[in-house]
Amino acid sequence: MAPHDLRRPFKRRPISDQQKRRELSLLRQSQHRSDAQQRARNLASSVISLQSPSSPDVDPEELSEPMPDVDATGHESEASGFNIRQASSLRGPEARKWFASQLMLPEWMIDVPENLSRDWYVLARPAGKRCFVVSADGTTVSRLRNGSVLHHFPSALPGGARKKGVSGPAQSYSILDCIFHELDQTYYVIDMVCWRGYSLYECTAEFRFFWLQSKLDETGACDPPSFLHKFRFSVVPFYNCDQTGLHSAYTESSPYVKDGLLFYNKHAHYHTGNTPLVLIWKDERCSQYVIDTDNNGQVLNQQHIVLELQDDGKIVTSDDPPVVVNCLNADFIKQSGLTPGSLVRFAIGDGGLKCVDGKFEKADLQYISLSNRARAFADSYSKIMFQYMARHSPLKVEDLASMISHEDQQDKSPEVEMSG
C-alpha cells in the first residue's frame, strides 16, 4: 500500500448521499422487526423445492413438497404457501428479480464511510458466482442470483446429506450466502442467513460473522470433499477495518482469486436487496475487472449504463427509491419502440455526469439500444458513479487509509479542558 499523498484530501466533494442513507438504514432496522423466521423458511423452501427458471416450465403442483410454515394451531401458514407458489410461477426476468432480491447486495463505495476503523469489517471478495446454499432434509442445493440451480449435492452442513442413524428436527435447515470459486471448486462463505432453523436476518454482522466462524467448523463442512461432502466450504477471512486489517485484506495472498474488497458495517442486519451498509470497492491490484468491459473483455471507449423507463418518461436507476437520471420525450420513446419498464442502454458522452448529494444535476446520455433481455435490473446510482469515478477520479486505497489514520489521530487526541 503506497504512502498517502498529502496533497490529496481524504474528504471528497459531496457527490453522494451514501453516508446519510447509511445512518437512515441503521435507524430503520432498529425500528423495524419483521417475521424473520418465516422469511428464512420461505427462502429455504424456494431454493430447495422450486424448478430452476432455466428449466422447462412445469406445473407447480408437480414440484417437490416445500417445508411448511406451521403456526401454533398446527396449520400451514397461508403467507408461506402464497410466497412459495408465487415464486414457483416466476420465469425469466421476474424469477431473476425475485431471487436476486433475496440476497443482500452491496452498494459500490463512492465515499469513505465515517468511523471506518471502528464500525466496519473488511474482507477480500472471492471471484466467482454469488449464490445461496441451503441444506435441508438430507440434501444441499445452491442457487445463483438469477434463480437457476448451480449444484445439487450432499454436504456436511446440518441436514445436508442422508446419513444412516443421523436424524434431526424436520424443520431444521441452514442458509449460507456464498461465492462459488470455480478454480478450486470451493464455496467461500461470506455470510450466514439461517442456521439449524434459527434465522439470523435481524442479527448484526458482528454476531453473524462470529456464528459463521464457530458453527461452520463444528460440522466438518470445511474439510476436504468426500462421498457425503462433495464440495469444500471455507469462511472468507474478515478483519476489523483498521490500518492492519485493510492492509491484510488488500495485500495478503489468498487461496482464491480476489475480486475487490467488501466492507460490512458491524451493526448491519441481513438486509435483502441493495444496502449502503455493505460496500464493494475495487482497483487494478485487487480485481481483474474494475471498469466494465464488453463481451470480449475489452474496456469500452465510453461508459455504458442501463436505466429503466418509467410511465412519465423519466429514466431511473434500480435504487429504492429510484434516482432520476434524465427524461425522454414522448416522440423519441415512440420512435424507439420503448415501453414503460423497458431497460435501456446509454453511453455517457463527453459532457459527462454532474451529481450533488446523490442527485444528477447533469447527464450527457447517448441512446444505444434496449438492454439484453436476460437483464433483470437497471444499474444502481452507486455503480454508475463508481464506474464514472474509476475512469476520471478513482477512490484509491490511500483515501481509505487516510480516513483510518485521521480517525486514529482523533481517538488519540487528548481532550482539552476549558478553564474558567
Residue 214 CB contacts under 8 Å (≥ 6 apart), including other chains: none
Q: Which amino acid is at 229?
A: H
Rg (CA), the chain: 23
What pLDDT is stored for residue 400 in this prediction?
97
Q: Are 377 and 316 in contact (CB under 8 A)?
A: no
Write the DSSP assignment of 80-103 as a string of letters: HHHHHHHHHT--HHHHHHHHHTTS
Q: Which amino acid is at 99?
A: F
Would you call 138 exposed, middle or buried from its count of C-beta atoms within 10 A (0-12, 13-18, 19+)?
middle
What pLDDT is stored for residue 66 in this prediction?
33
| Rounded distance between C-alpha atoms, residue 259 and residue 125, angstroms | 5
What pLDDT is stored for residue 17 in this prediction?
75
Q: Are 325 and 363 in contact (CB under 8 A)?
A: yes
| Rounded distance between C-alpha atoms, residue 133 and residue 229, angstroms | 14
What pLDDT is stored for residue 221 in this prediction?
94
What pLDDT is stored for residue 413 in this prediction?
64
β-pairing verdict for 258-265 and 238-240? unpaired
What pLDDT is stored for residue 21 in this prediction?
79
Q: Which H/E stretch holds residue 353? A: strand 343-356
Would you call 125 exposed, middle or buried from its count of C-beta atoms within 10 A (0-12, 13-18, 19+)?
buried
What letters, b where the CB count within 10 A reaches 16 and e where it falls short, cover 167-176? Answer: eeeebbbbbb
What pLDDT is stored for residue 405 in this prediction?
93
Write the DSSP assignment of 380-403 as a string of letters: PHHHHHHHHHHHHS---HHHHHHH
Taking alpha carbons only, the member of 54, 31, 26, 249 closest to residue 119 is 26
Measured CA to CA in angstroms, residue 257 lies from 78, 122, 131, 189, 372 at distances of: 44, 16, 17, 14, 28
What pLDDT is stored for residue 187 in this prediction?
98
Low-confidence ranges of the chain (pLDDT < 50): 2-10, 51-85, 88, 167, 170, 416-420
What pLDDT is stored for residue 331 in this prediction?
95
What pLDDT is stored for residue 240 in this prediction?
97
Q: Are 358 and 16 in contact (CB under 8 A)?
A: yes
